[in-house]
Structure 1
Amino acid sequence: MTDAPARDDTSISSRLDALPFTRAHLKVLTGSGLGWALDAMDVGLVSFVLAALIAEWSLTGEQASWIASAGFVGMAVGATLGGLLADRFGRRSVFAITLLIYGVATGASALAGGLAALIVLRVIVGLGLGAELPVASTYVSEFAPARMRGRLIVILEAFWAIGWTAAALIGFLVIPNLAEGWRWAFALGAIPAAYALVVRWGLPESARWLDRQGRRAEAEAVVARFEASASVDGSGRRRRDADVPAPAPAADSESLRGRLGVLWSAEFRVRTAALWTVWFCVNFAYYGAFIWIPSILFGQGYDLVKSFGFTLIITLAQLPGYAVAAWLIEVWGRRTTLSVFLVGSAIAAVFFGTATTEGAVIGAGMALSFFNLGAWGALYAVTPENYPTSSRATGSGWAAGVGRIASIVAPLTVPGLLAVGGSPLLFAVFAGFFLVAAAAAWGLADRRGATLDDR
């Protein structure tokens, strides 16, 4: 890949970076964020459904873990394919299609008559969910002005806390109080199917992606709408399509093999290795813990309502975690913020694993939520910044896909670790994964305030 050419101050990239935060940005952020929240609601619901099905279907821990891991099998495949498709066909269309796939499959899960059918449906749900998340973060990052890009991606990721809180409320209010309440919970998860239509027709395609594809008139029209929203023109005049400089050709990165090869080229291989390590470790620790927390509390003697109530309180700490990370990521930078929050997650995990009183369980659980979800916000902010436009969604998708391998394995290991050493051993293992991720974070590029690489 050649070095990026010099681009003048009327380029698509520089005009986007020069904008203030406008109503058009808010529409992109909230439109993508609502899809993100619905994703979180679906994943969060599984943690509560598992606890209910263990009681209702008399499932073993191993059977319950397969329900959780099935979704992550689909997510691993979806993340890798979604990024590739988004670099080929555009961010917006892939975003909408993935929402439709997992929304319909989640609604169908409400009708599952047995373990096998539910596992198959969870794989399909995961295909859509896994593809949507890296595509959405790439999409928002390509509209965000450079000086606030990290903060906006953390705010996008904060919608995850809203969705997980909604799942906790459904788990607390619906699942224990209705006959087969878990079916009603899954039925509510079908909402994204309708929302997909709003995404497809209501949001613009990424102007950077359009420009990179040579569709300059369309890119110009999108940026002009953002400038109109801010009542400014990035160059002080209205430009013709011919005024937009063409992006540098990069034929070697247009094919599937080329885009994958870029990830391991000399320029990007350290970043890719670091990203894959962080994504793997964070997924293992996060999903191993949070998918199982309601069931672990239930197994420790708390009744279903109390274990769900504790989980709801713990979940509420996610929002301040995101808020602090959103502030620090533009003050400390990406790597420092990510590493500090991961170390905090490790310490909180040790305390949660050894907590013996209700107050200690809730306090340590809230600390784990605070630090872990703040780390997630920083990770989603830094990931798309490490690659050029031609490979950005591919790089983000493959990092997420590698992470999903860990999220498949983690729920399967929980019953065995609990049997050997109980919660102290389980959460000590999670703490170890957080610390490895904290170290690997220093292999990432920190592009705080810098424009995105438009090669």
Structure 2
Amino acid sequence: MSVTTSSMPSGVQVVQNLPWKWGVQGRIFIIGGLGFMFDAWDVTLNGALIPLIMQEWGLDRSTAALMSTSNLIGMAVGAFVWGTVADRIGRKAAFTWTLLIFSLFTVAGAFSPSFELFTLFRFIAGFGLGGCIPVDYALVGEFTPTKQRGKVMTAMDGWWPVGAALSFFVSAMVISLFDNWRFILLAMVLPALLVFWVRLHVPESPLFLIRKGQQAEARKVIDDLVARTGAPQQEYTLPESSSVPKLSAGSIGQQLAGIWKFNWRITAVAWSLFLTILLVYYLALTWMPSILQQAGMAANTSLFMTAIMAAVGMIGVVAAVAIEKVGRKRILAITGPLSGLILVMVSLSLGTPTTAVIWLLVFGFVIQVCIPVLYAYVSELYPTELRGSGFGWASTISRLGAGFGPVLFALYWPVIGLPTLFLIATGLVVLAVIFMLIAAPETADQELE
């Protein structure tokens, strides 16, 4: 009995209905996650470096914060550039170059003779690393079967607390051994270069190849996935032709216009959630070592305590995976505002360090329930041709907010106090969550387009 073309599944459906295998899709998850880990490591490093470079170059708090701002703005620019590049030239090409640029300019930063040059090199390193999150999420999401996608994409954020905890732990150890912040930068370059080499062997996303009209290449990747996962062989269809516009300076603007034309409510929700929730997290990562030191902790102790806060986040990610069936929107509506309120409690408890540390650990858990669900949710809101750039632009907005936020935080900290600043940030999260509940759909268990 012959099978008509209309009754055949599409290549996209075949990929998204394959069985999950750790040696196949799991390998992509690990490789993508390691790049995500370095993103967290580098962002977190700003909090460890600020008090150290203040001492090295005799800087005040707000001037030193410009280094963090430069790095995060570099990541913001990189997020939308690399997200757009990934949508134009492919996930794999963008996937490999992000870490190489980051590694080269991190080394340059370690040998900077001045604060000005150091700030410039941190910007360029951030630009390279800024592409990791949108590119990695697009690639991993497009290889992951629909039934496992929610858990896998949520689990991707498990790499973030690993990177954040490693950053603070390694920083504390390096300072103890060498008493030189430059070795902190060099300590993360060798593993980053190793991950770059591993990325060279990752296949291109079949969904991207299908959209680009490269049928032979798409069939080769899909057939290989079917064989390696042990799924039954079956006939499937691919589009006759498609096209991907060439990358150009104008195409970035076109991509930005495209995500707003696709659905302005979805894009506005994505941007507002990323801006507010991640602002709360970046404020904690950037300033918590300084806050704890001002409360009387030694520098090494403050770094270790912040590292433990980040490490507790791994439990939060596990919890996020376990409760993922509850729905993305409901989890975000609870954990987003709660994380900000917990930081208010941290700031009110600084007079009793033990209580403050307990609240800090609770924050590490709650925020890492929230963030992985946020990343999974936003990555699912866009179709294939806009997934990298849609997520990338949302990430860009969060990095811009997180870049300028620490400077404003440093300026207003002595004026209105920590509790008020964290309460203002919490209020912004509440507004974003209300907008999400009104304007955006639930994406749990939906097939990607």
Question: What is the TM-score normalised by the length of structure 1?
Answer: 0.91
Change (3 A) 1:404 1:18: same
State the distance in 1 between where 2:85 and 2:395 align: 14
Q: Which moved more, 1:140-149 or 1:415-424?
A: 415-424
Contact 1:259 1:390 in 2 (8 A): no
Partner of 2:347: 353
In structure 2, what residue type is equivalent to 1:14? Q
Equivalent-residue separation in structure 2 for 1:7 and 1:336 (angstroms): 38
1:446 aligns with 2:442: yes
Question: Quick one: structure 1 residues 100 and 336, their matched pair in 2 at CA, closer, same or farther if it must change by over 3 Å?
Answer: same
Structure 2 residue aligned with 1:107: 107
2:328 paired residue number: 334
Deviations 1:214-262 (A, max 9, x none): 11221121122222222113xx43x4xxx53207858899955553333
Residue in structure 1 matched with residue 416 of structure 2 by the alignment: 421
Which string of whole-angstrom CA distances, capped at 9 and with x for unpartnered residues, describes residues 386-407 of structure 1?
Answer: 1111111111111111111101
Distance (Å, rounded) in 1 between the aligned partners of 2:436 and 2:366:
15
Which whole-Å CA distance do the structure 2 matches of 1:408 and 1:258 have between them? 25
* Native 8 Å contact 1:105 1:190 kept in 2: no
Deviations 1:391-440 (A, max 9, x none): 11111111111111101111101212211122222222232233233223
Pairing of 1:103-252 with structure 2 (within 5 A): 103-180=103-180, 182-191=181-190, 192-200=192-200, 202-233=201-232, 236-237=233-234, 239=235, 243-246=236-239
Q: Could you tell me which residue of structure 1 aligns to residue 75 of structure 2?
A: 75
Q: Is the 2:86–2:388 contact (alpha carbons within 8 Å) kept by the matching residues of 1?
A: yes
Paired residues of 2:341 and 2:422 also in contact (CA < 8 A): no
**Runs ≥4 residues deviating over 4 A:** 6-9, 247-258
**Counterpart for residue 277 of structure 2:** 282
What's the counterpart of residue 307 of structure 1?
302
Task: Output the amino acid matched with 2:82.
Answer: G
Matches of residues 256-271 of structure 1 in structure 2 within 5 Å?
Answer: 256=252, 258-265=254-261, 267-271=262-266
In the superposition, relative to structure 1, how do residues 19 and 284 fare at CA in structure 2: closer, same or farther (>3 Å)?
same
Residues 242-291 of structure 1: per-residue CA shift (max 9 Å, x gap): x53207858899955553333122x5110001111111112322212211
Question: Which stretch of structure 1 is more off in the superposition, 422-431 or 65-74?
Answer: 422-431
Secondary structure of the structure 2 residue equivalent to 1:244: coil
Give the 3 Å change call, closer, same or farther, for CA 15–320 of structure 1 in structure 2. Answer: same
Q: Percent identity?
A: 26
Name the CA distance, whole Å, in 1 between partners of 2:244 and 2:430: 39
Q: Where do 1:365-404 residues align within 5 Å?
A: 365-404=360-399
Q: State the alpha-carbon separation in 1 of the partners of residues 412 and 6 from structure 2.
A: 55
More divergent stretch after superposition (212-221 vs 115-124): 212-221
- The C-alpha deviation readout for 1:190-229, integer Å capped at 9, x for no partner, is 13234212202x2111110111111122112112222222
Deviations 1:61-94 (A, max 9, x none): 0111101101011111111111111110001110
Q: Say which SS state the counterpart of residue 406 (structure 1) adopts.
A: helix
Which secondary structure state, in structure 1, belongs to the residue aligned with residue 417 of structure 2? helix
* Distance in 2 of aligned mates of 1:253 and 1:114: 39
| Aligned residue type for 2:423 | A
1:53: Cα distance to partner? 2.0
Distance 2:366 2:274 in 1: 16
**Partners in 2 of 1:49 and 1:247 — Cα distance?**
53
Go from structure 1 to structure 2 and tell me whether the alpha carbon gap of 1:366 and 1:78 turns closer, same or farther (over 3 Å shift).
Answer: same
94-103 or 223-232: which moved more? 223-232
Is the 8 Å Cα contact of residues 212 and 243 (structure 2) preserved in structure 1?
no
Partners of 2:305 and 2:357 within 8 A in 1: yes
Superimposed CA distance per residue, residues 21-75 of structure 1 (whole angstroms, 9 cap, x where no aligned partner): 1120111000111111122112222211112222333320011110110101111
- 2-structure distance, mates of 1:261, 1:247: 27
Number of positions where the alignment pairs a residue of Structure 1 with one of Structure 2: 438
Inter-CA distance 447–253: structure 2 relative to 1 (3 Å threshold): farther
Q: CA deviation at 1:369?
A: 1.4
The equivalent of 1:292 in structure 2 is 287
**One-letter amino acid of the counterpart of residue 391, structure 1:** L
**CA contact 1:284–1:409 (8 Å) conserved in 2:** no
Greater shift, 296-305 or 90-99, is seen at 296-305
Q: Which moved more, 1:433-442 or 1:134-143?
A: 433-442
Deviation at 1:385, TM superposition (A): 1.1
Secondary structure at 1:175's aligned position in 2? helix
Where does the alignment leave 5 or more consecutive residues of structure 1 unmatched? 1-5
Aligned to 1:432: 427
